[in-house]
Amino acid sequence: MMIELGREKRQSIGNICKDSGEVLVRGAVEGTMGRVWVPGLDNAPYCLIVAGDHAYLYGIPPKGAGALDLKSQIYESAALAFLYPSDELWAQWLEDQFSGQLRMATRYALKKGEHRFDGDVLRGYMDQVPKGIRIRRVDERLYQLTLKEEWSRDLCANFEDFKHFQSHGLGYGAMKGHKIIAGCWAYGASEGMMEVQVKTKKEYRRQGLALGCSAAFLLECLEKGIIPNWEATNQQSVELALKLGYLYDREYQVYRLLDLEEESL
């Protein structure tokens, strides 16, 4: 059986995750984000980290009973998550353990810490939002509004409440009247870094709202010396990132478990 680590005990996975550049992994190790499972409390050889819809595997892949325990924990805690193997050994472990139960998902990485952000250009994007729409920094009221709608709820997925968000994250929303219609938020955070999450309500897309909110978010990151990490899920997200001043890095693959309906087809 896997053991879940409380936030104050996560130093035990620091060594096996020390080379990770992933914001959500670093935040989990620091005890600010996500959930962590290990096979034992002393010198854990591997761990499962889950933050929102991201799950990461680090350390040495287990065999025998340990593999069965980890597989069971993935089914229980990461059945709907994107599965990120930290190396080729973990990729092979996933394919062996979940043979016939996986599908691939494409991701696009933008360079971390390298960019061509231009403050004047970013401020220009903020000024270009349509008349009648305001870009606002997230306060408690805007945070609560975001939780009320299905399309925007995921922006808050990795924070326990507004106090937790206020301590570790930041965000900007596009407001039309008293409704939030787009936003750029920290999906996760670690020391000196934030993972960027951008969403726009379907009927308000292609109006420059994601661009304006993201520009506001990036300007504050630049002011505070925070590295804003952008992982794109599609080409539209890549194009938005490049327009903001990010530099393209690479395409890569992650895994997802097939759901019961897909398996039966």
Per-residue pLDDT tens over the stretch 153-178:
989 889 999 999 999 999 999 999 99
Q: What is the dihedral of CA 183, 188, 193, 197, to 10 degrees?
A: -30
Looking at the fold, whether 81 and 134 belong to one and the same domain comes out as: no
Q: Which of 48, 73, 99 is the last residue of a domain?
A: 99
pLDDT of residue 265 exceeding 80, the answer is no
- Does residue 105 form part of some domain? no
| The predicted structure's pLDDT at residue 9 | 92
H-type alpha helices, the chain: 23-30, 64-77, 88-97, 119-127, 140-148, 150-153, 162-168, 209-224, 235-244, 260-264
Q: Which of 44, 64, 99 is the last residue of a domain?
A: 99
Q: Which of 76, 99, 122 is the last residue of a domain?
A: 99
Q: What share of the chain has pLDDT > 70, as a percent?
A: 98
Looking at the fold, whether 168 and 82 belong to one and the same domain comes out as: no
Average pLDDT of span 24-38 = 96
- Does residue 64 form part of some domain? yes
- Does residue 60 form part of some domain? yes
**Structure token pair of residue 77:** 């805690």
Q: How confident is the model at residue 32 (pLDDT cuts 50, 70, 90)?
A: very high
Q: How confident is the model at residue 263 (pLDDT cuts 50, 70, 90)?
A: very low
Helices 88-97 and 64-77: angle between axes, nearest 10 degrees: 80
Per-residue pLDDT tens over the stretch 184-218:
999 999 999 999 999 999 999 999 999 999 999 99
| The predicted structure's pLDDT at residue 264 | 36
| The predicted structure's pLDDT at residue 200 | 97
- 8 A C-beta contact, residue 77 and residue 215: no
Looking at the fold, whether 44 and 156 belong to one and the same domain comes out as: no
> In the chain, how many domains are there?
2
Looking at the fold, whether 185 and 232 belong to one and the same domain comes out as: yes
Looking at the fold, whether 118 and 84 belong to one and the same domain comes out as: no
Whether this prediction's pTM lies above 0.85 is answered by: yes
- Does residue 158 form part of some domain? yes
Q: Residues of 179-218 as b/e, b for ≥16 C-beta within 10 angstroms?
A: ebbbbbbbbbbbeebbbbbbbbbeebeebbbbbbbbbbbb
CA separation for the pair 255, 92 (Å, rounded): 11
DSSP for 30-90, written as a single string: HTSSSEEEES-SSS-SEEEEEETTEEEEEES---HHHHHHHHHHHHHH-TTSEEEESSHHH
- Does residue 125 form part of some domain? yes
Looking at the fold, whether 75 and 188 belong to one and the same domain comes out as: no
The mean of the pLDDT values for the chain is 95
- Does residue 262 form part of some domain? no
Q: What is the dihedral of CA 257, 149, 241, 26, to 10 degrees?
A: -60
Looking at the fold, whether 136 and 243 belong to one and the same domain comes out as: yes
Which of 113 and 60 is assigned the larger pLDDT? Answer: 60
Residue 143: closest CA among 116, 162, 121: 162
- Does residue 257 form part of some domain? no
**Structure token pair of residue 164:** 């937790």
Looking at the fold, whether 71 and 122 belong to one and the same domain comes out as: no
Looking at the fold, whether 183 and 229 belong to one and the same domain comes out as: yes
- 8 A C-beta contact, residue 216 and residue 87: no
Looking at the fold, whether 87 and 140 belong to one and the same domain comes out as: no
Looking at the fold, whether 67 and 177 belong to one and the same domain comes out as: no
pLDDT of residue 256 exceeding 90, the answer is yes
User: What CATH number is attached to the domain comprising 235?
Assistant: 3.40.630.30
- Does residue 227 form part of some domain? yes
Q: Which residue has the tokens 């139960």?
A: 101
Looking at the fold, whether 42 and 137 belong to one and the same domain comes out as: no
Identify the domain containing residue 197 by its residue range.
110-252
